[in-house]
Amino acid sequence: MEQIIESNIRQWLEGNFDESVKTEIRRMQHEQPQELADAFYRNLEFGTGGLRGIMGIGTNRMNKYTVGMATQGFANYLNQSFGKGNVTVVVGHDSRNNSRTFAEIVANVMAANDIKVLLFEALRPTPELSFAIRHLGCQGGVVCTASHNPKEYNGYKAYWNDGAQLVPPHDKNVIAEVEKIQGVEAVKWSGGEQNITLLGEAMDQAYMDMVQRLSVYPDVCKQQHDLKIVYTSIHGTGITIVPKVLHKFGFTNVHIVEEQQEPNGNFPTVVYPNPEEAEAMSIGLKKAQELNADILLGTDPDSDRVGIGVKNHRGEWVLLNGNQTAVLAFNYLIEARKTKGIQQPNDMVVKTIVTTEMIDRIAESAGVKCYNVLTGFKWIAELIKAKEQNEHYVIGGEESYGLMIGNEIRDKDAVSAVALICEMAAYEKNQGRSLFDKLLMLYLQHGFYLEDLLSITKKGMNGQAEIAAMMEGFRTQPPSTIDGIAVVQLLDYQLKQGRDLVSGNDWPIDLPKSNVLQFVLADGSKISARPSGTEPKIKFYFSVKESLSAPADYDKMYTMLKGKIEAIIQELKLK
């Protein structure tokens, strides 16, 4: 390891790097040797989704050199795949520090490789890039973002010609091309500036028109135009589009959280700019309470995740989790399409294997096919591509606060999700109900499913090894009981095999190989474990369920199910 670190540092000190970079390396050698080692102990991995890492100097950091080399590899593969001179890509970025700089580097390197580049004139939501690729018939795209990660991070998401992030075989092929770029000398940094064109208001309008076409009940939005909406962009890109979309839907009573409306890569009001975190939504929640609003919505820096707050059955403000939001959204589109007579016999919805099975039950009861795919919207997009000749895609989503609505986009989209959720709230208000009232109705009908997520962070050089050891332990020595309940099934997506632990029978799992384990208990509870693909974390997903016979039993049942999840966590020694 020390030899690798020393070799990488020597290459940077002796290579064609800015003198300021070399000066900083020498300073760190004396003052911060451990941080320097972490910055150079490996190359920042170009994974199946692209790059993501802490910004700074070094081979293991996001900087102009790692971004440039990744782009050179991606450009080489695009030219191989479509032919030189036949490639157009869209390039975008979010509000993070250095995102515009990285986006311009991507644009310049692509352009220098005889690729036509459509560069967004300023920050825009990631889903608009996915839409633009499809709308303009491009061959690929790149967005510079680290999504919901802390401010120290940035990233690089690579897209293919269907507007989705890379899937096999392109993901591995691009990785192979990136790995061939052995140094900054192999990068074409400039020389094709004439190939760059800016994208602006016209694309915004096309994207917003698409979102407006997703509306099922535009008349209800007009009837409830004064629905009191509080929205926070959490210092991200949503502020550029979301208020305009809500206006197009007819909503006239929208209140922006001013403290968080300015795009700012330091995210000064939050620790994590993630609507999954209660802390990130706290300022918006306070404003919603003060205004006695109907609904609160928040989007992350690149506007692909949405969090919502509503009043519960006691009139108290609560934040719904991603599973609850997905349940409401899936059910709304399924029900609304049926009520309006536009449901098709071949309608399908798609969710991921770690997302609540309550959606499967809702779809089944409505006669709609529900597919399950691996975690990540690229897999939802891949399934749509495989089925689109014979089946009609309606909505897809996953528990991590993401929804993908309609057929004109291939990545999760918080902009259209905000609009749809507000329409849902307007529809329920028209019925004299809140979204939480509707959720209770669904629990009564399909069962009370409660989910939770525990993320364990393992940073630094040893982090990956620790995460791998945890997965190996669960894989080779799976528990026979959890919380006193027998484990009846073990689903190993790495081995692509399911096993009935009672009968001993095995069956194949018809999904791509992925490092995920799931334990299914005799009472229907499910525990899933998977390392994160974008962060130094291992994630554990818990799902428990019980029948709910009356709304008055909700609090008691919630406490019982929450206790069950805590008992599972304690038994597995995850805390």
Q: What is the C-alpha to C-alpha distance for residues 429 and 431, in angstroms, rounded to an integer?
A: 5
Q: 169: cis peptide before it, omega within 30°? A: yes
Single out the residue of 379, 394, 384 nearest to residue 332, CA to CA.
Answer: 394
Give φ, ψ of 543 to 5 degrees.
-135, 120
Rg over CA atoms, the chain: 24
CA triple 366-544-478, angle to 5 deg: 120
CB atoms within 10 A of CB 389: 6
95, 99, 130, 147: the active-site residue = 147
H or E segment at 526?
strand 526-531
Tokens of residue 258, six digits: 């001013």
Contacts of 358 (CB under 8 A, 6+ apart): 323, 327, 442, 446, 447, 449, 545
Q: What is the C-alpha to C-alpha distance for residues 137 and 118, in angstroms, rounded to an integer?
A: 12
In the DSSP assignment, the letter for residue 43 is P
Contacts of 322 (CB under 8 A, 6+ apart): 276, 355, 397, 398, 399, 400, 401, 402
In the DSSP assignment, the letter for residue 356 is -
Single out the residue of 447, 516, 534 nearest to residue 149, CA to CA.
Answer: 534
Q: Exposure string (b/e) for 489-522, b if CB count within 10 Å is 16 or more?
A: bbbbbeeeebbebeeeeeeebeeeebbbbbbbbe
147 catalytic, yes or no? yes
Single out the residue of 139, 59, 37 nearest to residue 91, CA to CA.
Answer: 139
Amino acid in position 49: G
Q: Check: CB of residue 444 under 8 Å from CB of residue 551.
A: yes
Single out the residue of 49, 26, 64 nearest to residue 158, CA to CA.
Answer: 49
What is the residue-wise DSSP string for 434-470? -HHHHHHHHHHHH-EEEEEEEEEE--STTHHHHHHHH
Q: Which residues are catalytic?
A: 147
